[in-house]
Amino acid sequence: MSQPVAAQSDSTSVATRDSSAPTAAELLDFVRRSAADKELIASLPLDPEGRTWVRLEGPGGSEAWLIGWPPGTGTGWHDHAESHGAFATGVGELKENSLAVRLPASGWKTLELNEGVDRERQLGPGNGRAFGKHHVHEVLNESAEHVVSVHAYYPPLPLIRRFSRSGAVLRLEQVERPGDWQ
């Protein structure tokens, strides 16, 4: 049975946190500075067929990645579980489709989304965004050129939940652990 979900803010909650942990704003600053580093961006080996990535040293123990996106590639709908994060484009333009809704952390397989929860952003060179825990989105390169971006997450990703979407129905399809992508 699906559960209806209404639109609400997707900002990071104000909760007690480790004072040494990087905030979403600090992660955003890091990814923007890294995306502006032309030498770093040029160092990524690009594959014409699939995404490429190199792990970077993120601030305050965060997990960071330099990612190359060939034309027509994307992530599919997913979240980053208990991690907050940020990403910025260094070269080219990425499209982010996201949901402006806080989803339940667990205990569901299918949700029916209410109208008005969809958001779309175009992120060109130097542009980025930060997001909170359980932020559901997909990132796409719809251009004819390679795109390179920088992503950072804290705490380091414990898992990624992958979803399928058909109209207003969001369905949990798979849970990936770090060994699946590292």
Q: Where in the chain does DSSP place strands (E)?
A: 3-5, 52-57, 63-69, 77-79, 84-91, 94-99, 110-113, 118-123, 128-131, 137-140, 147-154, 160-166, 169-176
pLDDT at 67 over 70: yes
pLDDT digits (tens, 9 = 90+) for 94-126: 999 999 988 877 788 999 999 999 999 999 999
> What is the C-alpha to C-alpha distance for residues 57 and 53, in angstroms, rounded to an integer?
13
Amino acid letter for position 91: V
Q: Residue 11 pLDDT more than 50?
A: no
Percent of the chain with pLDDT over 70: 90
pLDDT of residue 182: 66
Give the confidence band of 46 by pLDDT, cuts at 50, 70, 90: very high
Please give the pLDDT value at position 25. 96
CB 65 within 8 A of CB 56: yes
Integer Cα distance of 95 and 114 in angstroms: 22
Question: How far apart, in whole angstroms, are the C-alpha atoms of residue 172 and residue 166?
Answer: 12
- The pLDDT tens digits for 114-165 are 999 999 999 999 999 999 998 999 999 999 999 999 999 999 998 999 999 9
Within a 13 Å sphere around the CA of 62, how many CA atoms are in the beta-carbon half? Answer: 30
Average pLDDT of the chain is 89
pTM for this entry: 0.86
As beta bridge partners, residue 160 has 176
